[in-house]
Amino acid sequence: MSVRIIVLAVGAHCFQAAARRSRRSEIDTRLAVPKPAQQWGPWKLLDKVEEWVKAGSNVYSCYEAGPCGYWYNRELTEGGVVNYVVAPRLLENQRSKRQKTDRLDARPLLGNLESYPRGNRDAMSIIAVPSPSEELER
- Which pTM was predicted? 0.77
How far apart are alpha carbons 64 and 100 in whole angstroms? 12
Domains and CATH numbers, the chain: 3-137 (3.30.420)
Q: What are the percentages of helix, strand and coil residues in the chain, rounded to 5? A: 30, 25, 45
How far apart are alpha carbons 75 and 65 in whole angstroms? 15
Between CA 28 and CA 48, with CA 57 as vertex, the angle to 5 degrees is: 120
Q: What is the pLDDT of residues 122-138, one digit of tens each?
A: 888 999 999 989 988 87
Q: What is the pLDDT of residues 29-79, one digit of tens each?
A: 444 445 556 677 788 888 988 999 999 989 999 888 888 889 999 999 999
Residues facing 22 on adjacent strands: 3
